[in-house]
Structure 1
């Protein structure tokens, strides 16, 4: 475990009110100590590192200037909120972050009054802050709302939809653009800070308001010309014309690591009558920690690491490949075989493996930014022109584009291929990133084919099946983490649509498994066989269309049948129940049970404990079977088999 840093100033800070007792000249030291504490904490727990290091000074300045929690601070994509958590009463728990029973890796309303709005998906902060600001306005309360949005999140249309509506909030709304990739304007040191201080100061704002009053008194054409001259002159110098057109008063760019300058600028902004205001702060991801500065992508999210060397403790190597890597290699092989195959992701090239695909096929790989809606409809357009698009998006993020999946893909029956990474439970990232709902929201759609890979070899075959499927939309879901270690096919095989397979055959119990719970189903079969219950295990492969012939056979030739899937209610098991009901099998006394994720949002924990909580491990399958058969050899206390 890393030795904790010496932090005499930070030790005095328990809540933001304590920061406000400090002199401005002490804030740089506080920033250094806060950064050291964050590095030390994440080195022992793992978690998001680079984003938080980049906003240390910004975090301090905001809490120093604004009256949080009365003024509402809303972080966009809360993985940058670790410094915020440390100085808002949670320092004693920061080393529990992303662990079972510990702090969430994102902002969470139930955790602290300083987290007024939870955020783990991108580009929601301005909309939420606008809601807080308007609420205060309607209730005649003085509080302001401050949204901190990263430059990546500005690639999503939702941010601009909110900004287009933000004028209603007036000066109660302040948006801080955390530009950590110099995507809008490069920083040029003190000149930029001087300019930001100037345009946010009373010396500038007072004559500006006077000029505006004079302009309003002019005839219409002169008034409009005078107004545009002022805006475009300042926009030409500062780069803020886009935001001005959306109704914001633009301040910046400002050095996001000069905490004293930030305080001065934010004080000017706080006291200004202009509004809403956007402050453009240029920061460096990983600031203050060399390895994170030099490799921002590798230190965005980390496991435990050695502070001195920066080496991450990734455990023993040489194990089975990750599903993401298997998908990427399989897709590259399909792109090599067929020039019509293209790949699309929404700001997650490394997370989905498309960074490897892009290296091999740069002209046919597209990262559209944090814009899942656009990604889906873009893929639909490509499909309509005869290309074969693979849209690789985390299951949880595809939720953001459901309308496009329905209207632009399914209704038009376009052959878009959806690769749903991180399907099922995701451990430390918790409920906000779990891929719980894709089976429910895709299997209800006509024209869709929905597959789930039981292992990495099946995934290779399913990617090949998708590439050849031109008769409508098709999706494959696969989990986070590594495969089972099964050999990968040298030549992939196209699967027959809607057909499962028997993994092992028995007579009394049938386990119908969809996806990677197959291994647990086989363990359960061994346990049941030991109790004298002959067990069939089927790898169903397809959630839609169902293998109705196989399902009917299994349901009518076994005493009890159990479905299992790593997804919420409404997916595979629900469709099997519907089939059994439609066929009248329920009336015939069929013992059919469904195992699925619970009807709740599961907090972060280790995968094993999450599966135990969900009831999706082998002992839970066995217990379900024995209860259905009214067998009494169940250890109720242990939840396992006696």
Structure 2
């Protein structure tokens, strides 16, 4: 077992107020110790390592200069908040990160007053900080400065610009720190990233640009006119006026985000003199100070538990491929046969498996950046032009493009194919990343085909099915993690639309599953058989259109029918209930139950623990059957 790092200065810090007593030299030592403690903690828990290492000095500087929690520090996304948590009274729990009943991997209002705004998706920080700033102006309680720290990847999303445009119009004191590491989760794409690169590409101009462009409004009045003239001159010599200034922000930078000798004076000056919206441009390096992270392609964005000395990750062996890899390989096989197939992702090529597709078909794969709304409508345009787009997004990220799904895809009946990764409960990322709602929010749209894979072999067939659908939109969902180890087909065969399958014939009760809870349903059926209760087990395959014939047959031939899905209230089970009600089967005494995710947000834990909390593992499915049949159980005996 590797010993924890020695951290004599950090051991003296319980809250950010303790940093006020440290000298600048001691703050530099503190940053080194904080980096070592962050690496040590994440080696135990796994999690988002690289982002936090990239903001260690920035975290120390902000807490040393500002007066949190009165000053509201808002981290965009929250991947980078582990050092912040260590400095804000949570060091004693830092090795419970992302564990059941432990610290969240993101900022969370209920966890600490130092987390004034929760986040786990990107590009919200400037909007939230502006809300705090305006609340301060309107006389809200104990609200000081509002500081948003946002990455260059998050700045590619339209919401960030909407917020900056509004802030520039309101002209109230607001501090935005652009944490520019040239890499969000994947290398950033698009014109904004190129613009930032050009902005600081000319090294000879850096110092003068920082003074002329960045600090004009902060200089004493007699010096401001000269600075303005220098700024105007540089517009012609270098890049040109900054976008941020055009939006009403004073611009400071770029500065070295790992150099406290730069960070501390700039932050102190901004705190003392800023009187409107100001943007501080800090250049950082993701994974800074830990060689294995710096060498990784994603700079150690997300890691499992690892060996601190070598960086080697400790991953449990698996005999089955991941669902994400199965999707990617299946899509490649379909694309080899049809050159109209293209793939779209929103800043998650590795997470969705489309990095593999891009290697095979670089001209047919598009990463649109953190811009799900654009990604959906871009896919719709491709479909309208006769291409066959597969829009691959996590379930929770697709939520951000829902208006476009409705208006730009569904109403126009365009055959966009949505590959929905991270369906169901995802484990350590918790409620913010759980794919709970996609069945419900897509199944209420007319003429949408919605599929859910029960295993990795079914996913192969569903990719082929989506590729074959040319007259309407479709979606197929699959979970995070590895498959169940079934035999895999050589390639997919299109399924008959709206047709399920019966896997096990029984008598008294029918269990109708949608998605990967099927393996738990089959275990429950075996347990029921030990009690003398023969259960029929069916895989719905489609949430829409429903297999009406199969469902009505199950309802008419069994005392009880129970649906099981990895989604929220209002999804598959609700559509089944509507069908049964219209058919009058409730009037004939059918006992119907719908097992869905509970009407609450479930905190992080292992997926198995989360499903236990949700009441959707095999023993709970068995118990639901007994309850529906009116069978009371005492211990292990039927009563």
**TM-score of the aligned structures, taking structure 1 as reference length:** 0.94
1:166 correspondence with 2:167 = yes
Alignment of 1:384-399 (within 5 A): 384-399=384-399
- Indicate if the aligned counterparts of 1:78 and 1:107 stay in contact, CA closer than 8 A: yes
- Matches of 1:174 and 1:106, distance apart in 2: 21
In structure 1, distance between residues paired with 2:176 and 2:73: 10
Contact kept, 8 Å, 1:528 with 1:534, in 2: the verdict is yes
2:252 corresponds to which residue? Answer: 251
Deviation at residue 260 of structure 1 after TM alignment? 2.3
3-state SS of the aligned residue for 2:219? helix
C-alpha distance 235-291 of structure 1, shift in aligned 2 (>3 A): farther
Q: Which residue of 1 aligns with 2:471?
A: 471
Cα distance per residue 1:56-110 (max 9 Å; x no partner): 0000111111111111000001010000000000000000000000000000000
Point out where structure 1 has 5 or more consecutive residues left out of the alignment. 213-225
Give distance in 1, aligned partners of 2:371 and 2:535: 46
Q: Map residues 361-380 of structure 1 onto 2, 5 A cutoff.
A: 361-380=361-380
Give matches, 1:352-431, under 5 Å: 352-431=352-431
Q: Distance in 2 between matches of 1:416 and 1:89?
A: 48
TM-fit CA distance, 1:2 = 2.9
1:95-494 equivalent positions in 2, closer than 5 A: 95-139=95-139, 143-181=144-182, 183=193, 184-185=196-197, 186=200, 192=206, 196=210, 205-207=219-221, 211=225, 230=231, 233=234, 237=238, 241-297=242-298, 299-316=300-317, 318-494=318-494
Partner of 2:596: 596
Q: How does 1:482-631 map to 2 (within 5 A)?
A: 482-631=482-631
Contact 1:171 1:277 in 2 (8 A): no
| SS, match of residue 428 in structure 2 | helix
Q: Tell me what 1:215 maps to.
A: none
Question: What SS does structure 1 have at the residue aligned with 2:52?
Answer: helix
Contact 2:216–2:228, Cα closer than 8 Å, also in 1: no
Say yes or no: does 1:14 pair with 2:21. no
Stretch deviating more after TM superposition (97-106 or 189-198): 189-198
Decide whether the 8 Å contact of 2:218 with 2:273 is kept in 1: no
Report which stretch shifted further, 573-582 or 364-373.
573-582
Closer, same or farther: CA 331–228 of 1 in aligned 2, 3 Å? farther
Q: In the TM superposition, what is the alpha-carbon distance from 1:170 to its structure 2 partner?
A: 3.4
**CA apart distance, 1:167:** 2.4
Partners of 2:223 and 2:112 in 1: how far apart?
39
Q: State the Cα distance separating 1:246 from its structure 2 match.
A: 1.2
CA contact (8 A) 2:171 2:248 kept: no
Structure 2: how far apart are the matches of 1:238 and 1:272?
A: 27
For 1:62 and 1:69, the matched residues in 2 are separated by 11
**Equivalent residue for 2:187?**
none
More moved, 176-185 vs 561-570: 176-185
Match of 2:190 in 1: none
What displacement does 1:238 show?
7.3
TM-score, length-scaled by structure 2:
0.94
Q: CA–CA distance in 1 between the matches of 2:602 and 2:297?
A: 30
Per-residue CA deviations over 1:328-371 (Å, capped at 9, x if unaligned) read 00000111110000000000000000001000000000000000
**Distance in 2 (alpha carbons) for counterparts of 1:528 and 1:424:** 25
Q: Following the alignment from structure 2 to structure 1, what is the Cα–Cα distance between the partners of residues 309 and 537?
A: 50
Looking at structure 2, the residues matched to 203 and 572 of structure 1 have their Cα atoms a distance apart, in angstroms, of 58
The count of aligned residue pairs is 625
Moved more, 323-332 or 606-615: 606-615
Tell me the SS of whatever aligns to 2:475: strand
CA distance in 2, matches of 1:580, 1:604: 35
Tell me the CA shift for residue 189 of structure 1.
7.9
CA distance 1:204–1:569, change in 2 (3 Å): closer
Q: Distance in 1 between matches of 2:497 and 2:120?
A: 36
Which deviates more, 436-445 or 20-29?
Answer: 20-29
CA RMSD of aligned residues (A): 2.2
Query: What is the CA–CA distance in structure 1 between the aligned matches of 2:638 and 2:516, rounded to whole Å?
Result: 22
Give the Cα separation in 2 of the matches to 1:17 and 1:239. 41
**Is the 8 Å Cα contact of residues 631 and 638 (structure 2) preserved in structure 1?**
no
Q: CA deviation at 1:630?
A: 1.2
Shift of residue 242, structure 1, vs aligned partner: 0.9
Aligned partner of residue 301 in structure 1, secondary structure: coil
Whole-angstrom CA distance in 2 between matches of 1:170 and 1:116: 22
Q: Is the 8 A contact 1:197 1:265 kept in 2?
A: no
Secondary structure class of the residue paired with 2:497: coil
Separation in structure 1 between the aligned mates of residue 31 and residue 202 of structure 2, nearest angstrom:
22
Report the Cα distance in structure 2 between the residues aligned to 1:239 and 1:367, rounded to whole angstroms: 28
Distance across 2 between alignment mates of 1:466 and 1:383: 13
The superposition leaves residues 528-584 of structure 1 with CA deviations (integer Å, 9 ceiling, x where unpaired) of 111111111001000000001100000010011110001111111111111111111
Task: Please give the secondary structure, in 2, of the residue aligned with 1:373.
Answer: helix
Q: 1:268 to 1:200 in 2, by over 3 A?
A: farther
Structure 1 residues 419 and 518: CA distance shift in structure 2, 3 A: same
Following the alignment from structure 2 to structure 1, what is the Cα–Cα distance between the partners of residues 216 and 609?
57
Structure 1 residues 437 and 75: CA distance shift in structure 2, 3 A: same
Distance 2:100 2:453 in 1: 28
How far off is 1:200 after superposition? 5.3
Offset, 1:195:
5.2
**Which deviates the most, 183-192 or 51-60?**
183-192
Tell me, yes or no, if the aligned pair for 2:130 and 2:163 is still in contact at 8 Å: yes
Name the SS of the counterpart of 1:332 in structure 2: helix
SS where residue 538 of structure 2 aligns?
A: strand
Quote the Cα distance in structure 1 between the aligned partners of 2:358 and 2:627: 51
> How many Å apart are 1:273 and its aligned residue?
3.7
Task: Give, in whole Å, the separation in 1 of the partners of 2:236 and 2:91.
Answer: 41
Is the Cα contact below 8 Å between 1:143 and 1:172 reproduced in 2?
no
Q: Secondary structure at the match of 2:598?
A: coil
Q: CA separation in 1, counterparts of 2:201 and 2:388?
A: 41
Identify if the C-alpha distance between structure 1 residues 341 and 394 changes in structure 2 by more than 3 Å, giving closer, same or farther.
same
Secondary structure of the residue that 1:20 maps to in structure 2?
Answer: helix
Question: 3-state DSSP class of the match of 1:126?
Answer: helix
Deviation at 1:641, TM superposition (A): 8.7
* Counterpart Cα distance in 1 of 2:312 and 2:521: 38
CA distance in 1, matches of 2:201, 2:132: 31
Q: Distance in 1 between matches of 2:335 and 2:81?
A: 39
Task: From the superposition, tell whether residues 547 and 603 of structure 1 become closer, same or farther in structure 2 (CA, over 3 Å).
Answer: same
Residue in structure 1 matched with residue 46 of structure 2 by the alignment: 46
User: In the superposition, relative to structure 1, how do residues 68 and 240 fare at CA in structure 2: closer, same or farther (>3 Å)?
Assistant: farther
Counterpart secondary structure, 1:495 = coil
**SS of the residue 2:37 aligns to:** helix
